[in-house]
Amino acid sequence: MTYAIEDALFSGDVLFEGSVGRTDLPGGDWPTLGRSIGVLLERFDDETVVHPGHMGLTTLGRERATNPFLRELSRS
């Protein structure tokens, strides 16, 4: 789950700086997580600041360009 508040995203365990939430834990599901991240990339600009639940601040554009999990997402 991600909250959009004003111009920022609070991405909890969905999207991190250089990583994404774990899907190996019970209830985790990569297709569901991938769809959730895909919706964020569609609906919000690259300049959107992301406040993850772990690790540092980032932006959607930075993650689109550098996050290896998002690269995998764009191939599927």
Under the rule (CB under 5 A), what is the footprint of Fe ion? 13, 53
Q: State the residue number with the nearest CB to Fe ion.
A: 13
Q: Strand 19-20 vs strand 15-16: parallel, antiparallel, or unpaired? A: antiparallel
35 phi and psi, to 5 degrees? -65, -40
CB of 2 to Fe ion, least distance (A): 13
CB of 11 to Fe ion, least distance (A): 10
Choose between 1 and 76: whose C-beta lies nearer to Fe ion: 1
Query: What does the alpha-carbon distance between residue 50 and residue 53 come to, in Å, rounded to a whole number?
Result: 10
Choose between 7 and 54: whose C-beta lies nearer to Fe ion: 54
Helix (H) / strand (E) containing 41: helix 30-43
CB of 22 to Fe ion, least distance (A): 8
